[in-house]
Chains A and B, each alone.
Chain A
Amino acid sequence: MSHGGARPQREAEARLAPLAGAWRSHRRQRRRRALLAAGLVLALLWLAAWVAQVDPRLIWSKGGNVFGYFDRLLTLEGGAEAGARVWHDPAEWFWGWRRWLRLLGDTLLMAYLGTLFGALGGLLGGLLAAGNIGPGRALRWTVTRGLEVCRTVPDIVFALVFVIAFGLGPLPGVLALTIHTLGALGKQVTELVENVDMRPVEGVVATGAAWPQMAGFAVVPQVLPGFLGYALLRFEINVRSAAVLGFVGAGGIGQDLIEAIRKFYYNDVAALLVLIILTVVLIDAVTSRLRFRLLEGHAA
C-alpha cells in the first residue's frame, strides 16, 4: 500500500491486464451460462403456467380466500363460545374424538398390516431379483419388472381399483399399501443383497445347502439390519398414505376427513388435521429412535 511512483503502478497494471482480462472473460462466460439456465427455467415456467392455466390475476382475486379459509378453520362454529378461536373450547372442537381415535387406530393398523405383508413379500422379491444370488435369469427378470410396476403405480391408484374389486373398507387399503410397499422395499432389498459379502454365501453353498437355506443363513443375516431400517421408514410413509386412502373409500381416517372438507365442517377439518399431524410426528419420532438403535446395534 505504499505510494509508489506512477511508473511502477502503470507497470503493475500492464502486468496484471492479461490476468484481469482472463478473469473477466471467464466470469463473462459463467454469467452467460447462468443467464442461459435462468432464461430456460423462466421459459419453462411460463410454458408450465400456460399449460396449467395458472393466472396471476387468479392469485390476486383468491388471495383473500386463503386467509379467510384458515381463519374459519380455527373459529368455533357452534357451542357456547361460537366465534372464538377453537382452542377456547377443546371439548366442542374435538367433539367426535372417540370415533376419530378409533379411525386413527384403524389407519395405523392399515399401515402396519400393509408394511408387514409388503415387507415380507419385498424381502422375498428382493432376494429373487438380486443379480448375485438370484436363482434364475428368467425368474429374476419377471420379479424385477413386477416390483417396478408395484413401485411406480401410486398406491391410491391401486386402492381405486381394489375398492371396485373388494368393496369399500380398509381391506382394499391394506392391499394397496402392501403392493406399493412390496415394490419399494423389494428394490431396496435387491440393492442390499447385491452388496453383501459373497464369501459367506460361497461357504454355505459349499456345504451343499439348497437356495432357501443359502438365502436364509448367508444373505438374510447380512441384510437384516438394513432391511429393518427401510421397513420402519416405509411404515412412516405408509402411515401418511393410509390417512388419505379413505378419500377413495379404502378405509381409515381419510373418509371422515374428505367428508369434512367437502361439506365445509371447518372445525372438524382442523381437528382431524391436528390429530393426523400429531400421529405422524409421534410415529416419526418413535421409528427414528428405533432406526437409530438398529444402526447402533449393527455397528457394535
Chain B
Amino acid sequence: MSGAASSPTPLRAAALARVPALRAAHPGAFRRLGPGQRLALALLLGGTLLLGLGIWRLEIAPARLLAGLGDLAHFVTLMLPPDPGSWAQFRGILAALAETLAIAFLGTLLAAVIALPLGLLAARNATLHALVRFAARRLLDGIRGIDALIWALIWVSVVGLGPFAGVLAIMTSDIGTFGKLFSEAIEAADRRPQEGVVAAGGSGVARLRYGVLPQVLPVMAGQVLYLFESNTRSSTIIGIVGAGGIGLTLAEMIRTLEWQSVSCIVLLILLMVAAIDQLSSRLRRRLAGG
C-alpha cells in the first residue's frame, strides 16, 4: 500500500538484491521482446508502412481533413430538425420507400428461384458431375465478386433507368450469394434420411426430393428472409445510379444541399430497416422453431 512504496518490502528488497542472479537464471524473462512479440512487432511495422503508403497515395492531408470536418459539423447543424420540406415531397419520399421495399422483395424472390438449381449443381452431394460443380461454383463466385451497385449500373444501361433495373440488380447480385448458401446447406444436410430413401429403392431425384429438400427448405427460407433484410439496405442505395428506390431522392437532396430533407430521409430509412429487421427476425425465429 502507501507505506510499501516508500520503504521497500522484504520481497522487493530481496528481489532487487538478486537481479543479476535472476537475470542469469531466467534470461528469457528479461528480454524486451519474446518471440511472439517480435512477430507482432514485424506485423505492426508492415502495417504502419502500408498505412504510410496509403496516406501518401490517397493524399490524406491533415489540413484537408480538418477543413472537411468543420464543414461536416456545419452540415450536421443544418440537418436539425429533420424536415421533408413539403407535404407533397413527403408523399414522394414515402412512395420511393415503398418502391425500395418492392425492389428488395422482388429481387430476393427471383434470385432465390434462379439460385435453387444452381445451388444444387454446386453442391458436392447433389451435382451431376465434378466439372459441372466446378463451373457452377466459379460462376457463383464471379457473380458475388460484383457489387449490387455495379449490377445496377449495368442493368440501367441495358433496360434503362427505373426500378426494373433495380430489381434485376438485386436479383443478379443475390444469385451468387444464394447459390453459395444453398449449396452449403445442401452439403450440410444430414446423410441418414438420404440413405433411408436410397435404401428403400429411391432414385437420385427421389433422394433429393424426400431426403434432402425437407431438411434444407426451412434453412433456405431463413436465408431468403435474411437476405431480404440485407437487401432492404442495398436497395436504398441503388437509386444513386438511377435504378429506382429512395436512393435517387436521397442523392438529389444531398447534391442540392437540402440537409433537413436528407436527415428526414435517412431517419425514415433507418425506421424502415429496423421494422423489416424486426419482422424478418421474428419470422426466422418461427421457422427455426418448427
Is A16 an interface position by the 8 A CB rule?
Answer: no
Contact across chains for A165 and B71 when beta carbons are under 8 A apart? yes
The residue that A109 contacts in the complex, of B57, B101, B167, B266, with Cβ under 8 A, is: B57
Is B241 an interface position by the 8 A CB rule?
Answer: yes
Name A272-295 residues within 8 Å CB distance of B. 273, 276-277, 280-281
Is A149 an interface position by the 8 A CB rule?
Answer: yes
The residue that B72 contacts in the complex, of A149, A162, A241, with Cβ under 8 A, is: A162
Query: Once bound together, how far apart are the Cα atoms of A69 and B156, in whole Å?
Result: 11
Contact across chains for B147 and A241 when beta carbons are under 8 A apart? yes
Query: Once bound together, how far apart are the Cα atoms of A211 and B64, in whole Å?
Result: 34
Q: What does the 1/0 interface line of B64-75 toward A look like (CB < 8 Å)?
A: 110111011001
Stretch at the interface among B6-14, B46-54, B84-92: B46-54
Contact across chains for B102 and A48 when beta carbons are under 8 A apart? yes
The residue that B270 contacts in the complex, of A149, A162, A170, A276, with Cβ under 8 A, is: A149
On whether A49 and B106 interact (CB within 8 A), knowing A116-B51, A243-B150, the answer reads yes
A166 contacts across to B, CB distance below 8 A: 64-65, 67-68, 71-72
- In the complex, which residue of chain A has the Cβ closest to the Cβ of B245? A52
Chain A: number of interface residues, binned into ranges: 35 or more
Contact across chains for B154 and A167 when beta carbons are under 8 A apart? no
- In the complex, which residue of chain B has the Cβ closest to the Cβ of A243? B147
Contact across chains for B240 and A248 when beta carbons are under 8 A apart? yes
Query: Once bound together, how far apart are the Cα atoms of A55 and B150, in whole Å?
Result: 23
Stretch at the interface among A39-47, A77-85, A89-97, A196-204: A39-47
The residue that A170 contacts in the complex, of B59, B106, B236, with Cβ under 8 A, is: B59
Is B145 an interface position by the 8 A CB rule?
Answer: yes
Contact across chains for B147 and A244 when beta carbons are under 8 A apart? yes
Main secondary structure of the interface of A (DSSP, over half): helix
Chain B: number of interface residues, binned into ranges: 35 or more
B255 contacts across to A, CB distance below 8 A: 160, 164
Contact across chains for B159 and A62 when beta carbons are under 8 A apart? yes
Contact across chains for B102 and A153 when beta carbons are under 8 A apart? no
- In the complex, which residue of chain B has the Cβ closest to the Cβ of A266? B157
Is B124 an interface position by the 8 A CB rule?
Answer: no
Contact across chains for B150 and A244 when beta carbons are under 8 A apart? yes
Contact across chains for A58 and B236 when beta carbons are under 8 A apart? no
Contact across chains for A165 and B58 when beta carbons are under 8 A apart? no
- How distant is A292 from chain B, measured CB to nearest CB, in Å? 16
Stretch at the interface among A3-11, A125-133, A255-263: A255-263
- In the complex, which residue of chain B has the Cβ closest to the Cβ of A237? B147
Contact across chains for B166 and A52 when beta carbons are under 8 A apart? yes
The residue that A165 contacts in the complex, of B68, B162, B251, with Cβ under 8 A, is: B68
The residue that B162 contacts in the complex, of A49, A53, A69, A109, with Cβ under 8 A, is: A53
Contact across chains for A247 and B164 when beta carbons are under 8 A apart? no
- In the complex, which residue of chain A has the Cβ closest to the Cβ of B265? A157
Is B149 an interface position by the 8 A CB rule?
Answer: yes
- How distant is A49 from chain B, measured CB to nearest CB, in Å? 6
Contact across chains for A58 and B159 when beta carbons are under 8 A apart? yes
- In the complex, which residue of chain A has the Cβ closest to the Cβ of B153? A261
A160 contacts across to B, CB distance below 8 A: 240, 250-251, 254-255
A152 contacts across to B, CB distance below 8 A: 233, 269-270, 273-274
Contact across chains for B57 and A105 when beta carbons are under 8 A apart? yes
- How distant is A280 from chain B, measured CB to nearest CB, in Å? 4
Is A66 an interface position by the 8 A CB rule?
Answer: yes
On whether A162 and B68 interact (CB within 8 A), knowing A116-B51, A240-B147, the answer reads yes
- In the complex, which residue of chain B has the Cβ closest to the Cβ of A172? B68
Contact across chains for A157 and B58 when beta carbons are under 8 A apart? no
On whether A171 and B150 interact (CB within 8 A), knowing A52-B166, A116-B51, A157-B237, the answer reads no
- How distant is A147 from chain B, measured CB to nearest CB, in Å? 13
Contact across chains for B241 and A247 when beta carbons are under 8 A apart? yes
The residue that A156 contacts in the complex, of B47, B67, B109, B237, with Cβ under 8 A, is: B237
Is A106 an interface position by the 8 A CB rule?
Answer: yes
Contact across chains for A113 and B240 when beta carbons are under 8 A apart? no
Is A219 an interface position by the 8 A CB rule?
Answer: no
B254 contacts across to A, CB distance below 8 A: 157, 160-161, 164
- In the complex, which residue of chain B has the Cβ closest to the Cβ of A280? B145
Contact across chains for B147 and A113 when beta carbons are under 8 A apart? no
- In the complex, which residue of chain B has the Cβ closest to the Cβ of A279? B145
Instruction: List, sorted by A's number, 12 A–B pairs whose CB atoms are closer than 8 Å.
Output: A45-B109, A49-B106, A51-B102, A53-B164, A113-B54, A162-B72, A165-B75, A166-B65, A166-B72, A169-B59, A261-B154, A276-B145
Given contacts A154-B236, A276-B146, 11 further A-B contacts (CB under 8 A): A51-B102, A52-B166, A53-B164, A54-B164, A58-B159, A69-B157, A113-B58, A165-B71, A166-B65, A170-B58, A276-B145
Closest 10 CB pairs of A and B: A166-B68, A48-B102, A170-B58, A51-B102, A280-B145, A277-B145, A52-B102, A52-B163, A109-B54, A165-B71
